[in-house]
Amino acid sequence: MIYIKHEIRKGDTLESIASQYESNIEDLKNFHNSYCGATGLIVTDRLPLHLGYIIIDKNSIKDKEISNVRKGSSKLDIPTRYRCEQNNLVLIDGNPNFSGQTKTQYLLSHKKNIGLSLLNALLEDYISSVQPMGMEGAFELIKQIELIRDNIVFTHADGKIEKIINLKELNNKWDIFLKETSNNIPFYNELKNKSPQVIKDFIDNGEKEFSDENVFSEVISKNLFYHIILKAYMGKGINEFSFIQQSQLFPNITMNLNVVKSLVSNDETTTTYRLVGTLDKSKLDENEIMNLYEELYQPIIKYSFTEFDYIYRITYVIENESGLLIESNASIKELVKNNYEVITKFELRRVAV
């Protein structure tokens, strides 16, 4: 929606409303008159007595707020705190082979005048554990990269990120990581000595991510916290969408997911939605997947290739009055049926600020 409705209250004037939205009276009148009916026109510089609301240009306000944030003259000042828990499990022939848990806490802030279209996500806490124990080094490296992304200001619409407002600051953090932090990470230095090509690819990918807005947006959209926030605030009119997901099992294989949003329940205070994703198998090369399975997994599992699938289920609850996300649960599974499964369970809940 390109506009918002400002409810006129006692004491409001065109001048005070224009000041509130960092606009001027003429722009306010022109935009309102373009979208209101004939009985709602504002002809003079006074608000008509019968008028209940004035239509405000949301995109203009958002652009001004973005400019103010970039200049450091404005902050997003309505905070909501979330705690998240993500559990990852790998099953081989039905037996656990790997498990990892990550707990995070985010402070998500927005501006009242433009609602939830401009957000600041601050990562306040990051705790991880992994089994088997020998993989802690890799997870420490992952944690350090997540800490580079610890403060992201962005706009979004239709379930997708539009702009990363502070990408330059994030790029500076990446440079500091390469020059300083990486030297204190044993796993990073071990890889640099034993597998220089792996480190080169790691650095190349980082350079792309932290310098290219589109690449960075794509990367963080895969993070389940951001993924759920984007989908929860994508708009009531969008009930079907698609996205591309990189396979965790097979290198260079991408999957097309078709997602349907449905209403689960609603009452006076909350509304619950469910997202169900279906893998578009018509866009997969099953022979390529079968060959990769026979190369990568069959020597270990022994059993022949069966069926490849991807299961995507997300439920989330919205508070009706504020429009804010209250809680969410996600269950995602990529698998070769009965042989190899990568399972992700994710829970998000709002806590006190």
- Is residue 145 scored above 70 in pLDDT? yes
User: Does pLDDT of 323 surpass 90?
Assistant: yes
Q: Could you report the per-residue pLDDT of 29-84, keeping only the tens digit for each?
A: 998 998 888 888 998 888 988 899 999 888 888 888 888 888 887 789 899 999 99
For the chain, where are the alpha helices, taking DSSP H only? 14-20, 25-35, 58-71, 136-148, 167-179, 186-194, 196-209, 213-222, 224-232, 286-296, 298-301
d(CA 95, CA 341): 10
For the chain, the average pLDDT equals 93
Q: What is the reported pLDDT for 298?
A: 97
User: Which structure tokens are listed for 326?
Assistant: 């209250």
Can you say whether residue 77 is alpha, beta or left, with left for phi > 0 and alpha for psi between -120 and 50 degrees? Answer: alpha
Q: Is 233 helix (H, G, I), strand (E, B) or coil?
A: coil
Q: How confident is the model at residue 171 (pLDDT cuts 50, 70, 90)?
A: very high
pLDDT at 153: 96
**Most confident option among 58-72, 107-121, 322-336:** 322-336
The radius of gyration of the chain's CA atoms, rounded to the nearest angstrom, is 24
Measured CA to CA, the distance from residue 39 to residue 6 in angstroms comes to: 17
292-305 pLDDT, tens per residue? 999 999 999 999 99
Residue 208 has pLDDT above 80, yes or no: yes
Quick check: 93 pLDDT over 70? yes
Coil, strand, or helix at residue 205? Answer: helix
- Give the pLDDT score at 62: 85
pLDDT of residue 114: 83
Nearest to 292 by CA among 311, 309, 312, 308: 308
The token duo for 106 is 């985010």
pTM value? 0.88
pLDDT attached to residue 137: 86
Instruction: Give me the pLDDT at residue 60, please.
Output: 86
State residue 1's pLDDT score.
Answer: 61
Burial of 133 (0-12, 13-18, 19+ CB in 10 A): exposed
Cβ-contact 20, 113 below 8 angstroms: yes
Torsion region of 183: left, alpha or beta (phi above 0 gives left; psi -120 to 50 gives alpha): alpha
How much of the chain, in percent, has pLDDT values that exceed 90? 75
pLDDT (mean) for 317-340:
97
Determine the 3-state secondary structure of 95 from DSSP: strand
Average pLDDT score over residue span 102-106: 98
Q: φ, ψ for residue 217 (rounded to 5)? A: -60, -40
Q: What is the pLDDT of residues 220-260, one digit of tens each?
A: 999 999 999 999 998 777 899 999 999 999 999 999 999 99
Q: Are 190 and 137 in contact (CB under 8 A)?
A: yes
Mean pLDDT over 169-198 rounds to: 94
CA distance 26 to 13: 13
Q: For 13, phi and psi rounded to 5 degrees?
A: -130, 165
